[in-house]
Amino acid sequence: MPLLVAGIAVPALGRLQERRGVESGSAASFADNQYRLQMIGLAVDVTANHPWTGGGSRAFGWEKYHAWEPSESGVLPSDDDFVHNELLQVATDYGWIGAILVTAAVLAIGLRGVAGLATGEGGVARRAADAVSCGGLAAMTGTLLHSNFSFVTHTFPGALYLGLALGCALPRYRSEQAAAASPWPSISGAITAVALVLLTPLLAYAGGKGTMAYREAWPVFFGRERLATTAPGAAIDRMHAALEIWPSAEMAGDAAQLARRASQMKGLPDPERREKLSEAAELYAVARKWNPFDPAWSVNRANVLSALGRDQEAEAEFESAIALEGGMEGIFRARYYFARHLYGRWYRAWTRERRAGEALGGFLRARDLLREAETTTAAWVRGKEGRELLNGLEETISFLEGAKVKPEPVR
């Protein structure tokens, strides 16, 4: 049976990946868990800040930025909110008390199942019950093993599946034992069943809305349509429709990225370009509203505002992004983009308006930002453009200081 499943799954997975838009991939890259090991190390560091209480559901998504050490972890993706290890995810969300309670509950059920297998009497009916218990224990063990590498119980269907496995793992009772047992387990089970029945319409409603939003967004990024590349205008309209159905930070950020990309089309008149950039700035603000802890929304909005010439707003967003990104300068590059913005703004003010003193103050601030970036990222992460910007700033500052210009506050 495993050989048959593998024979079907391998080509099916390839077609599924192709349908999802993954153009290249190999079994080796699929099985490489170095990234997950880095996430586990980050999770352990995050739990050290609040070992017993936890940071709250999905707090790891932004707490990891401040726990990240470039010299230890390299460069990590910025958009992953999960540890990909369920026990550590529980520890980061709800503290080690929560993780210990979950572990103790699962361990107690497993041990009780094993004890029931060891102490049960014989007979055909008993052997059938033992077979169900063995199946439940095997399913529970496999599921929990899988949970060390990816989510299988952190979502609602996975939680239901694990609950069924735990239920099957428990030992069976003979009829006289069941009659003598306390009625409380039956009452609690009935209460749980009634609660699930009452919850079903709400889950169905949420699932229907989520499916409708996903249907709107699918042609934008996946499949043969790929509207994000082939028809940016239609793609933005579909993302607005998806946002109306299911508002979320990720979809607002994706829509903003599409508007920003549309503003860069060749031959676009300047008024239309500014309109697209303004739309992108508004959408990034929506994304930040839904998730104010993600630096990506602030740094992207700051770059858009800088392109629009809204300098004070842009600089406030850059400051916010730097505070949020923690040690992950190599991913969000908030300091680099802020320095680039300051260099462009004050170079224009110096050459066009002769505001040399204010410009020198802006250049010094930009140089300080790049030097701060050097302490958090390796040179290969900062790249050639970072080095070139720093060299240009050094030369400009030396020229102005050689001309006896003194830095002045911004008027």
pLDDT digits (tens, 9 = 90+) for 371-381: 888 877 766 56
Please count the CA atoms within 13 angstroms of the CA of 50 that sit on its side-chain side.
14
User: Is the confidence at residue 121, as pLDDT, over 60?
Assistant: yes
Residue 59 tokens read as 């707090």
293 shares its domain with 214: yes
* CB atoms inside a 10 Å sphere around CB 142: 12
356 shares its domain with 381: yes
Report CA torsion sign: 69, 73, 79, 82. negative
Q: How far apart are CA 169 and CA 112, in angstroms?
A: 8
147 shares its domain with 101: yes
Instruction: List pLDDT tens digits, range 74-107.
Output: 556 556 778 888 899 999 999 999 999 989 988 9
- Close Cβ partners of 377 (under 8 Å, ≥ 6 residues apart): 70, 329, 330
The least confident of 19-33, 164-178, 234-248 is: 19-33
Q: Is 183 part of a structural domain of the chain?
A: no
262 shares its domain with 306: yes
Q: Is 185 part of a structural domain of the chain?
A: no
265 shares its domain with 375: no
The least confident of 3-12, 56-65, 141-150, 263-272 is: 3-12
Instruction: List pLDDT tens digits, range 343-369.
Output: 999 999 999 988 899 999 999 999 999
28 shares its domain with 39: no
Average pLDDT, the chain: 84
Q: Is 189 part of a structural domain of the chain?
A: no
Predicted pLDDT at 163: 87
Residue 111 tokens read as 């041990």
Q: Is 370 part of a structural domain of the chain?
A: yes
Outline where 85-149 has alpha helix (H).
Answer: 86-119, 124-146
Q: Do 210 and 246 meet the contact criterion of CB atoms below 8 Å apart?
A: yes
Q: Is 264 part of a structural domain of the chain?
A: yes
Residue-number span of the structural domain to which 260 is assigned: 194-317
The full length of the chain comes to 411
66 shares its domain with 170: yes
Percentage of residues in the chain with pLDDT exceeding 70?
A: 86
Q: Do 265 and 231 meet the contact criterion of CB atoms below 8 Å apart?
A: no
Q: Do 336 and 84 meet the contact criterion of CB atoms below 8 Å apart?
A: no
Q: How far apart are CA 363 and CA 289, in angstroms?
A: 32
Q: Residue 71 — φ and ψ, nearest 5°?
A: -65, -25
Q: How far, in Å, are 308, 315, 345 from residue 311 at the CA level?
A: 8, 6, 8
346 shares its domain with 285: no
127 shares its domain with 202: no
Q: Is 158 part of a structural domain of the chain?
A: yes
Q: Closest Cα partner for 110 from 134, 146, 145, 85? A: 134
3-state secondary structure of 150: coil
Q: Is 184 part of a structural domain of the chain?
A: no
Q: Which of 142, 177, 212 is the last residue of a domain?
A: 177
Q: Which of 177, 205, 229 is the last residue of a domain?
A: 177
The least confident of 56-60, 176-180, 230-234, 249-253 is: 176-180
Q: Do 363 and 400 meet the contact criterion of CB atoms below 8 Å apart?
A: yes
19 shares its domain with 100: no
Which DSSP letter does residue 172 get?
P
* CB atoms inside a 10 Å sphere around CB 99: 21
348 shares its domain with 309: no
Q: Is 75 part of a structural domain of the chain?
A: yes
Q: Which of 125, 147, 177 is the last residue of a domain?
A: 177
Instruction: List pLDDT tens digits, range 195-212.
Output: 889 999 999 999 999 999
27 shares its domain with 69: no
Of 25 and 109, more confident: 109
Q: How many domains does the chain have?
A: 4
